[in-house]
Chains A and B, each alone.
Chain A
Amino acid sequence: MVRRAVATVILVVLVCIVLLPLAWIALSSFKSRLVLLASPPVLLFTPTLENYATAISSHGLISNVVVSTVVALVSSLVAVGLGYPAASALAPMTRPVGRHVLFLILTTRLVPAVALGLPLFHLYRELGLLDTVTGLTLAHSAFNLSFAVWMLVAFFKQLSPEIYQAAALDGLGPMAVARVLARPMRPAVLAVGLFCAVLSWDELFLGSILTTSAAQPLTVGVLGLITSQGTYWGQVCVFATVSLIPALAMGVLLRRASGALLSLGTLEMEERD
């Protein structure tokens, strides 16, 4: 009993340590400029939407949110849509060629982003894709794809390999197998899709290289608030708060999905006496 209480206290303290900065940022987004920069920090103040108004009117908050949302949604859909059949075909491969292909896919993530960012910049300039939502979506899709394939392969491997063998004997081709397995794999697909969306939502480096204004996502928009004249701290807090909301929502969804994921590996043995 005592140990439980101690554990609870420790957990609450840890949660506070993690959440306090986030809460502070959210709180600060409602402070006026004077209150925000006051030292020592002020806890009690009259909330104002002033920062939100200027973020929308002069810093393009709405357009940034739209870009981030579209890019996150489309790139994760593309990554999962292409990654799912690829993973379904790669997972049961026992011959070395399967492992080689998987490793090749992994190498795209081993290369530092800088090394890919600059060639991509030149390529995009030639193709006229710089500062376009299409261009950013394409780049995010490519980066998410390798991640999606690896995650999904791990989930597919939780299924008994005999299911693949049964499917082969039943006469199913690789695409048909992927279709048949879509139902048990649904929670995994959902989880990987969410992960991809979070990764895209949080991505900064490619965004900062490939976009300048029109196709700026939120993360890049924040950078624009740090200027040579000074930093718009109020607006920074607004951007941070807005970008937190979907991230938190996806976190909650992921937690829900993980329950279904845990049971994926036990599908086989369930209900057998």
Chain B
Amino acid sequence: MSLTVGLRNITVRLPGVHGKGLVSLLNDVSFEAPASRVTAIVGPSGSGKTTMLRVVAGLIRPTTGQVLLGEKDISRVPASERDVAMAFQSFALYPGHTVRYNLEVPLAARGVPRKQRRKDVDEMLGRLGLDRRAGYRIEALSGGEQQRVALGRALIRRPRVLLLDEPMSSVDPAQRRALVTLLRELLAKEPKPTTLLVTHDWAETSALAEHVVMIEGGRLLQQGSVREILYQPQSLAVLDLSASPFANRVGGLERTSGSACLLQTEGGLSVESSAPLDGDRFTCAFEPDALQTSEHGFPARVCSHRPVNHVEVLEVEISGQRLFAVAEGSESIGTTVRLAFHGPGQVADASGQVVARIQRLWSEPT
């Protein structure tokens, strides 16, 4: 019964400050969110993520383009008739009212009989773990509890389309884990809604979503499965959005005269790409775990080390470059370790487009 949600060539322009000029929030964005699945919309702050949700919800009318629910164009359908529910980042709960009342409003507005309403609300309160809070006023709840009420209010009427605007942004890490578990449970219940999840957090994306839409500056960067985004990123911008805090970026790579696949930095760090390259300046990108200690590797000096998720992340110096690598045990600062590149890694050209994978990476001792 669930339907795909699609945007077709959506452009949103709004008047700028003091009505001067137009600010472009979305630029010719098209994508399709598969039915009954979770699609994450990932992008940095101000990239237009929330605008996309609002367009789907009908809260913003696009300047041009169409919003599709299944095959049907719903661009002109008012928000209240779209069967789209949304959990707002600010929660937007009804102030002064109880938890029960807040959960009941969407049912009452749809004419669900009182008895059925009571039953549904009780069931939802149980799922949310808020049984004991039913009679509390919204203002008396903690941020995490308000967040759960907001999710419950969006889900209680079993909408065909569910929009989640940064549902984890105001909870602490412990609550976040609980909330991820809760969301997975709620979203797995039939009939599964077609869900759009706005986030800037890759951990949240990989925990909840199957399909990903990456945007930046109001433009679509890439869309695909979580796996595709992770293993076949099309640009450095996409890589940046899914990168760990220790992700390596090596700039200033130049093609050597000998081969179309061989790149070198001035310091002597060499990279062999998977495909012949055009152009002259390149950047390569890889996560620390692509570079690991190995007996047969090339030498690198340890500058610092710290434990991260049960592995030791080393900051090393190789041919004048500071890079992060992974070691099995801890290494003393100042010692020389041997590292080998296992991949994966990407080579991007000057415009930031990924043009090849890193085949090999090593350092020539000078």
Q: Which residues from chain A sit less than 8 Å from chain B, CB to CB? A: 159-160, 162-163, 165-173, 176, 180-181, 183-184, 186, 267-268, 270-273
- What CA separation (Å) do A272 and B92 show in the bound complex? 13
Nearest 10 pairs of A and B residues by beta carbon = A171-B109, A183-B96, A162-B92, A184-B96, A166-B92, A184-B95, A170-B106, A267-B95, A272-B143, A168-B79
Q: In the complex the two chains form, is B90's CB within 8 Å of A273's CB?
A: no
- What CA separation (Å) do A166 and B57 show in the bound complex? 10
- What CA separation (Å) do A268 and B138 show in the bound complex? 9
Binds A, one of B80-88, B191-199, B202-210, B290-298: B80-88
- CB-CB < 8 A to A166: which residues of B? 86, 88, 92-94, 153
- What CA separation (Å) do A72 and B33 show in the bound complex? 59
8 Å CB contact of A271 from B97, B106, B140: B140
The residues in B between 104 and 127 inclusive whose CB is less than 8 angstroms from any CB of A are: 105-106, 109-110
- Shortest distance in angstroms between A139's beta carbon and chain B's nearest beta carbon? 34
Q: In the complex the two chains form, is A169's CB within 8 Å of B57's CB?
A: yes
Q: In the complex the two chains form, is A271's CB within 8 Å of B84's CB?
A: no
- CB-CB < 8 A to B95: which residues of A? 159, 163, 183-184, 267-268
Output the nearest chain A residue to B146 by Cβ-Cβ distance. Answer: A272
- CB-CB < 8 A to B109: which residues of A? 170-172, 176
Known: A162-B88, A169-B85, A267-B95. 19 other contacts (CB 8 A): A163-B95, A165-B79, A166-B92, A166-B94, A166-B153, A167-B105, A168-B78, A168-B80, A169-B79, A169-B86, A171-B80, A171-B109, A171-B110, A173-B80, A267-B139, A268-B95, A271-B140, A271-B143, A272-B146
8 Å CB contact of B92 from A165, A171, A271: A165
- What CA separation (Å) do A212 and B187 show in the bound complex? 72
- Shortest distance in angstroms between A4's beta carbon and chain B's nearest beta carbon? 35
Is B64 an interface residue, CB under 8 A from the partner? no
Is B141 an interface residue, CB under 8 A from the partner? yes
Q: In the complex the two chains form, is B59's CB within 8 Å of A163's CB?
A: no
8 Å CB contact of B80 from A163, A169, A184, A268: A169
- What CA separation (Å) do A196 and B109 show in the bound complex? 33
- From B80, B94, B140, name the one whose CB has the most chain A CB atoms within 10 angstroms: B94
- CB-CB < 8 A to A171: which residues of B? 80, 106, 109-110
Is B256 an interface residue, CB under 8 A from the partner? no
Q: In the complex the two chains form, is A170's CB within 8 Å of B105's CB?
A: yes
- Shortest distance in angstroms between A270's beta carbon and chain B's nearest beta carbon? 5
Q: In the complex the two chains form, is B90's CB within 8 Å of A162's CB?
A: yes
- CB-CB < 8 A to B141: which residues of A? 271
- What CA separation (Å) do A171 and B96 show in the bound complex? 20
A-B contacts, 30 of them at CB < 8 A, read A159-B95, A160-B90, A162-B88, A162-B92, A165-B59, A166-B92, A166-B93, A167-B94, A168-B80, A169-B57, A169-B59, A169-B82, A169-B86, A170-B106, A171-B106, A171-B110, A180-B94, A180-B97, A181-B94, A183-B96, A184-B94, A267-B95, A267-B96, A267-B139, A271-B142, A271-B143, A272-B143, A272-B146, A272-B170, A273-B142
Q: In the complex the two chains form, is B146's CB within 8 Å of A163's CB?
A: no
- What CA separation (Å) do A169 and B82 show in the bound complex? 8
- What CA separation (Å) do A162 and B60 show in the bound complex? 12
- CB-CB < 8 A to A162: which residues of B? 88, 90, 92
Q: In the complex the two chains form, is A170's CB within 8 Å of B96's CB?
A: no
- What CA separation (Å) do A273 and B110 show in the bound complex? 33
- Shortest distance in angstroms between B139's beta carbon and chain A's nearest beta carbon? 5
- CB-CB < 8 A to A160: which residues of B? 90, 92
- Shortest distance in angstroms between A155's beta carbon and chain B's nearest beta carbon? 12
Q: In the complex the two chains form, is B96's CB within 8 Å of A172's CB?
A: no
- CB-CB < 8 A to B82: which residues of A? 169
- Shortest distance in angstroms between B22's beta carbon and chain A's nearest beta carbon? 16
- CB-CB < 8 A to B97: which residues of A? 180, 183
Output the nearest chain A residue to B88 by Cβ-Cβ distance. Answer: A162
- What CA separation (Å) do A167 and B109 show in the bound complex? 9
- What CA separation (Å) do A181 and B93 show in the bound complex? 11
Q: In the complex the two chains form, is B88's CB within 8 Å of A165's CB?
A: yes
- Shortest distance in angstroms between B126's beta carbon and chain A's nearest beta carbon? 21
- CB-CB < 8 A to B153: which residues of A? 166, 170
- Binary per-residue interface labels of chain B (245-259) against chain A in the complex, 1 for a CB within 8 Å, 0 otherwise: 000000000000000
- CB-CB < 8 A to B94: which residues of A? 163, 166-167, 180-181, 184
